[in-house]
Amino acid sequence: MPLIDITDLHVRFGPVHAVRGVSLSVTEGEAFGIVGESGSGKSTVLRAICGLAPTSAGSIRIDGQTLTAPRRPAFYRRAQMVFQDPYASLHPRHTVDKVLSEPLAIHGFSDREARVERALNDVGLGHGFRFRFPHQLSGGQRQRVAVARALILEPEILLLDEPTSALDASIQAEVLNLLDRLRSERGLTYILVSHDLAVVSHMCERLMVMQHGQAVEELARADLQAHRASQDYTRNLLAASEGFSRAAP
């Protein structure tokens, strides 16, 4: 049985049909990628899993249990999301300590001190960052705090919405390596949304390509790396990604 199972998912925002009949399954410990251009619906799939986007049809199951709306607190113990923009996802007037302590308080953890310290160490920041404000951190440090916040409840699933796209290239690599290490150490399951095929190829064993709210095709990492795509849209994405790489300094 897959850990995450989505069947015929539809999401509408008024007249906009953002996700159209998407189905996917992810096994425990797997990293699964969703790629596509802006507006393809890929981030909306993640938001639907979290209950942040309205599901108009279809089902989302975790361990065989259909998720209800609104999501129950137990869901957020199992699954957490890391958002795209580290500048927007942290409250500017909250210290790192408050950012990390808040979910522990909401879920009734008593060992908050130890968990905050461990979370900071796990993402390579340490005690010296605990009482800093977001404006005192670099973009990469802010995203590490966002990852620490997602991990502090010890979830099984991380939903990663373009987690490095707002960062400089050198910092992107650091954050991706951090996420890779944490998945290996903790046996985490990832769904990673990205427009960057190189990021998905590095992080994910399988991926789904989306266009106009629909799934175009699924590929294994080896198929992506060998350019064994069956659909023209996917081949065009690969060609565009390769051309950008060649042109980059």
Query: pLDDT per residue over 177-212, tens digit each?
Result: 999 999 999 999 999 999 888 889 889 999 999 999
| Domains: count for the chain | 1
Residue 70: asked if its preceding bond is cis (omega within 30°), the reply is yes
For 159, the domain range is 4-247
> How much is the pLDDT for 117?
95
Could you tell me the CATH number of the domain that includes residue 208?
Answer: 3.40.50.300
Which segments of the chain have a pLDDT < 50? 244-249
Question: From CA 44, how far away is CA 191, in angstroms rounded?
Answer: 12
Question: Which pair of structure tokens corresponds to residue 186?
Answer: 């903790």
Question: From CA 180, how far away is CA 59, in angstroms rounded?
Answer: 29
Q: pTM of the entire structure?
A: 0.92
Three-state helix/strand/coil letters over 86-142: CCCCCCCCCCHHHHHHHHHHHCCCCCHHHHHHHHHHHCCCCHHHCCCCHHHCCHHHH
